[in-house]
Amino acid sequence: SESQNRTYKIAVIAGDGIGKEVVPEGLKVLRRAQEKFGFTLEIEEFDFASAEYWQGHGQMLPDDWFELLKPFDAIYFGAVGWPSVVPDHVSLWGSLLQFRRSFDQYVNLRPVKLMPGVKSPLADRKPGEVDFWVVRENTEGEYSEVGGKMFEGTDREVVIQETVMSRTGVDRILKFAFDLAQTREKKHLTSATKSNGIAITMPYWDQRVEEMAQNYPEIDVDKFHIDILTANFVLHPDWFDVVVASNLFGDILSDLGPACTGTIGIVPSANINPERNFPSLFEPVHGSAPDIAGRGIANPIGQIWCGSMMLDHLGERDAAAAVLAAIESTLAAGEYLTGDLGGTATTAELGTAIAEALSR
């Protein structure tokens, strides 16, 4: 609306490795979007959540990280992880997973979208045919800490780990997915379960889907078992629009989906707190890629597309769509592509090409 305050506070954390190379390209494009669409980004950069910070401080984050970051509208994140200095579980638990938990980012969202000029392992598919979202529950489900071991070290050894589904936890992720489907042309929602094999929690999820569907009569709902659903991601990716799943199934689908659309370097992801009580976090699917870091050859598109998702979350829908269109037209033109896309352009050249496409 016209009275809306269009100033957004963005915390920028580049992190490690190629994070430090792709984040500046993302900011280049966001600044161009800001000029073109007339909103204001108040950007503050932080050096924590990196191996260098860990070397200097013995921890990944400052003690007051929660108070520092809470006032921001979003966190624009590069990549964390530099295993030669900090073990991956330390860097991950000490940073991203703290944010996810404390900022109640209970939605993990990733696009599965075939882009022009990107070689995909899916045969005979054209851009436009494959364009859907994977919505993963990010806080409960199979990734619980409930369980234990019995008769440890004997041949009667038994280990148990429980799946935890709460009504609040299931309903809030379903609501997000239905709301997202509502904004889409196809208005189609697919729920992933395994109710024939996992006989208590999965039928409960199905039941909550049916209940929620009553509030969304215009949405076409279907349910798939996870096994056949993974097959259909490959065989019939054009069937899908919004796919919602529990933590474990969502984890699998949100890697499989983007893998079907080509290089890991172009895919973004978001960890969202839809109520906006806390900042949401936007990071590319790829990691810090130590093998190619420092050479200026990383593909910045995953990071730039994150900027589009962030603008969408902030309510800047036109700017979000324009950034995505600039990525698509640059890929289609094929003049400035990085090595992973078969070209010879540097990270900065591809970033600049997308910024220029946005200005046109």
Residues 51-90 that bind ligand ATP (CB under 6 A): 81
Residue 307 within binding range of Mg ion, rule CB under 5 A: no
Residues 12-41 that bind ligand ATP (CB under 6 A): 18
Task: Give whichever of 141 and 300 is closer to Mg ion, judged by the CB atom.
Answer: 300
| Least gap, CB of 255 to Mg ion (angstroms) | 14
| Least gap, CB of 288 to ligand ATP (angstroms) | 4
| Least gap, CB of 67 to ligand ATP (angstroms) | 28
Give the CA dihedral 78, 84, 88, 89, nearest 10 degrees. -140
Interface region with Mg ion, contact rule CB under 5 A, candidates 25-33, 34-42, 73-81, 131-139: 73-81
**Could you give the CA distance from residue 244 to residue 135 in angstroms, rounded to a whole number?**
5
Residue 81 within binding range of Mg ion, rule CB under 5 A: yes
Give the CA dihedral 303, 304, 307, 312, nearest 10 degrees. -120
| Least gap, CB of 292 to ligand ATP (angstroms) | 5
* Residue 302 site contact among ligand ATP, Mg ion, none (CB < 5 to 8 Å, cut-off depends on kind): ligand ATP
Residue 94 within binding range of Mg ion, rule CB under 5 A: no
Residues 79-138 that bind ligand ATP (CB under 6 A): 81
* Residue 292 site contact among ligand ATP, Mg ion, none (CB < 5 to 8 Å, cut-off depends on kind): ligand ATP
Give the count of residues interacting with Mg ion (CB under 5 A): 2
Interface region with Mg ion, contact rule CB under 5 A, candidates 75-83, 89-97, 123-131, 144-152: 75-83
**Could you give the CA distance from residue 145 to residue 167 in angstroms, rounded to a whole number?**
18
Calculate Rg over the CA atoms of the chain. Answer: 21
| Least gap, CB of 183 to ligand ATP (angstroms) | 28
Q: Which of 107, 71, 66, 73 is nearest to 273 (CA)?
A: 107
Go through 276-309 and write b for each residue having 16 or more CB atoms within 10 A of its CB, e for each that does not. eebbbbbbbbbbbbeebbeeebbbbbbbbbbbbb
Task: Give whichever of 247 and 288 is closer to ligand ATP, judged by the CB atom.
Answer: 288
Write the interaction track for ligand ATP spanning residues 184-203; mark x where CB under 6 A is met and - where it is not.
--------------------
Tokens of 283: 């990071």
* Residue 291 site contact among ligand ATP, Mg ion, none (CB < 5 to 8 Å, cut-off depends on kind): ligand ATP
Write the interaction track for ligand ATP spanning residues 256-295; mark x where CB under 6 A is met and - where it is not.
--------xx--------------------xxxx-xx---
Task: Give whichever of 191 and 299 is closer to ligand ATP, judged by the CB atom.
Answer: 299
**Could you give the CA distance from residue 95 to residue 128 in angstroms, rounded to a whole number?**
36
Residue 287 within binding range of Mg ion, rule CB under 5 A: yes
Q: Which of 330, 355, 356, 325 is nearest to 341 (CA)?
A: 330
* Residue 298 site contact among ligand ATP, Mg ion, none (CB < 5 to 8 Å, cut-off depends on kind): ligand ATP
Task: Give yes or no for a contact between 345 and 334, defined as CB atoms under 8 angstroms apart.
Answer: no
Find tokens 């404390």 and name the residue. Answer: 102
Of 10, 99, 340, 358, the one binding ligand ATP (CB under 6 A) is: 340
199 burial level (CB within 10 Å; 0-12, 13-18, 19+): exposed
Of 237, 302, 307, 351, the one binding ligand ATP (CB under 6 A) is: 302
Find tokens 């489900």 and name the residue. Answer: 141
**Could you give the CA distance from residue 264 to residue 284 in angstroms, rounded to a whole number?**
9
**Could you give the CA distance from residue 326 to residue 357 in angstroms, rounded to a whole number?**
5
Looking at residue 61, the DSSP 8-state letter turns out to be S
Amino acid residing at 240: F
Q: At 149, give phi and psi (nearest 5°).
A: -120, 145
64 burial level (CB within 10 Å; 0-12, 13-18, 19+): exposed
* Residue 265 site contact among Mg ion, ligand ATP, none (CB < 5 to 8 Å, cut-off depends on kind): ligand ATP
* Residue 331 site contact among ligand ATP, Mg ion, none (CB < 5 to 8 Å, cut-off depends on kind): none
Residues that bind Mg ion (CB under 5 A): 81, 287
Residues that bind ligand ATP (CB under 6 A): 18, 81, 264-265, 286-289, 291-292, 298-299, 302, 340
